[in-house]
Structure 1
Amino acid sequence: MIRKIEHVEDKVAQYTDIIMGYATEYGLKILGAVTIFFIGKWVVHKLITLMRKGMVRSHVDETLISFAGNAIYVALMIAVLVAAASNLGINTTSFVAVFGAVGLAIGLALKDTLANVGAAVLIIFFRPFKVGDFIEVSGVMGTVKIINLFSTTLTTADNRSIIIPNGALIAGNIINYTGNETRRIDMTFDIDYKDDLKLAKTIVSDILDAHPKVLQTPESLVAVGALTQNSVQLIARPWVKVEDYWDVMFEITELTKLAFDQHHITVPLPQVVTHVKHED
């Protein structure tokens, strides 16, 4: 009986030594891997924060800051995970190979989505527009609110949100209405052939000269644009700051109508002249 007890105690001691050996060996590796992960994550966070602050001081566009920060964070965190796995004794070479194969399979399955990511890179680096610009693209107009890796969100004048895939967006023509500081307003006023043409030109010119938001340089243009079937067309082309475009256009249109009414200058309606021939 005593021998059996001693045999059991020996077995227990033997297994205890084995467990303690594994715990000592792998416990240190696990502790090292966890330490590498959390320290690496802290370092990555600090680096990204410093990078963002530096880019803000350099007046880099917010869209580029966000995109670069996210991309660098993902890349550095992958490096931290690989380092932690290597400390555990995992063969990272095979891990990288498997990761590459999985990435290739995902890339083939999501090629259209990745095309949107590639288009986002082109948008961010070539900057045909930025957040806050008013653009026309893919048959819609709106203010750019969000540019992410897969799509761009526009807000229309009536406050609708339109989400356009970046691939479709970059493939067509892009009209950026706020890409420059100033913009020209093209306006047309129709007057009757019987009205005083010189007086009408003077009225429009005086309105443009007196408006505080119309720029003096470049100089505004008022001229006869065309002689149509029913009217004489006056064209007015004032220059304004981009943010004043709509306000100035609406105000000048109203002021011109009121001035024309005061000076009895009419806006003719479409007319059809019919000749009736009488026969005996």
Structure 2
Amino acid sequence: MDSVKEYLLSEELLPQLTDWVINLVFAIVIYLVGKWIAAMLVRWLERLMKSREVDETLVAFLTNLLYAILLTAVILAALDQLGLPVTSLVAVVGAAGLAIGLAMKDSLGNFASGIMLVLFRPFSKGDFIEAAGVSGTVEEVRIFNTVLVTPDNKQVVIPNGQVAADPIVNYSAKDERRVDMEFGVGYEDDLKTAREVLERICRDHALVLDEPATKIFVKSLGDSSVNFAVRPWVKTADYWTVWGDLLETGKVELEAAGCSIPFPQRDVHLFQSDTGSDSN
């Protein structure tokens, strides 16, 4: 026992033990203070972004990412204070990260695309969009995928890589939209009368905007009909209501004005062969 006590109090071990304890205390202080500073910075950034009405998905992602980076730096600083080989540890972690990245390249691609979607915000929650061949209302924008709800209430989860790779059509981005419709009348009908009917039904509809003005013109001469293009402007939220109303009202009013609405027809003529009677 005395020999152990003498060894612990020897001139060689005591300074080393003292230095180790001091370094341990400093490492703990570095970790605690660094963690507190990291949390304060993250809370400050979160308050700043919320005050500027930044998208909630972006706020959560950036704050979590910043906290992870800061906490990693604090831990490395604490380990360095203890005298551990931080450089080697960073190299090992980097090599492991590279291996994981190669194994999860598709997921990382979706992750990177998710960052781009959150940062540049081509659409927001509640927008009606068309992306990756799917049309629906945006329910949620996640880091790896985007969730859409189709008009028939089906939930579709699309990887962000596919969303970002294809053109995105945002039908809700603008307050106003143009309704593109087409009405056909017979070649024997009076085109002036047909135009007046179409102008009137657009003018009388409460949801059709005065500006921009509605455009009505002959678009084409079809096989069976003269086709009018009807282009009224409406609020985006009223698009389908106006489309359905004008389609129904247009048919009724055109027929009431004496205009026919042709449809393709085919006449089939049957000829009886006289071959049998000739042979007799």
Work out whether the TM-score is over 0.5.
yes
Distance 1:23 1:196 in 2: 106
Structure-1 residue corresponding to 2:90: 96
Q: What is the aligned counterpart of 1:119 among 103, 113, 120? A: 113
> Match for residue 193 of structure 2?
199
Give the direction of change, closer, same or farther, for the CA distance of 1:279–1:241 in structure 2 (3 Å limit): same
User: Cα distance, 1:198 vs. partner?
Assistant: 2.2
Retained in 1: the 8 A contact 2:127–2:138? yes
* 1:214-262 Cα shifts (integer Å, max 9, x gaps): 2222211112222222222221111122222222212222332333344
1:130 aligns with 2:127: no
Q: Which amino acid aligns with 2:70?
A: L
TM-score of the two chains, using structure 2 as the length reference: 0.80
Of 212, 215, 232, the residue aligned with 2:209 is 215
- Shift of the alpha carbon at 1:36? 4.3
Q: Flag the 1:23–1:194 CA change in 2: closer, same or farther, 3 A.
A: farther
| Contiguous gaps of at least 5 residues in structure 1 | 1-7
C-alpha distance in 2, partners of 1:261/1:14? 115
Using the TM superposition, name which of 35-44 and 131-140 deviates more: 35-44
Change in 2 beyond 3 A, CA 1:203/1:41: farther
Q: 1:128 deviation in Å?
A: 3.1
Q: Distance in 2 between matches of 1:162 and 1:85?
A: 46
Report the 3-state secondary structure (helix = DSSP H, G, I; strand = E; otherwise coil) of the residue aligned with 1:212.
coil
- What does residue 236 of structure 2 align with? 242
1:163 paired with 2:157, answer: yes
Distance 1:279 1:162, change over 3 A: closer
The letter of the residue matching 1:204 is: L
1:5 is matched with which residue?
A: none
- Percent identity reads 40
Question: Relative to structure 1, is the Cα distance of residues 249 and 26 closer, same or farther in structure 2, using a 3 angstrom cutoff?
Answer: farther
CA distance in 2: counterparts of 1:186 and 1:155, whole angstroms? 25
**When the two structures are superposed, what TM-score results if normalisation uses the length of structure 1?**
0.80
Structure 1 counterpart of 2:183, which letter? F
Distance in structure 1 (CA, Å) of the matches to 2:252 and 2:16: 94
Contact 2:185 2:259 in 1 (8 A): yes
- Would you say the 8 A contact 2:194–2:254 is kept in 1? yes
Which residue is 1:3 aligned to? none
Query: Contact 2:255–2:261 (CA<8 Å) still a contact in 1?
Result: no
SS of the residue corresponding to residue 190 of structure 1 reads: strand
User: Which residue does 1:184 correspond to in 2?
Assistant: 178
Match for 1:249: what amino acid?
A: W
Number of equivalences: 272
SS of structure 2 residue aligned to 1:251: helix
How far apart are 1:73 and its partner, in Å? 2.1
Structure 2: any 5+ residue segments left out of the alignment? 275-280
Contact 1:63 1:131 in 2 (8 A): no
SS at match of 1:59: coil
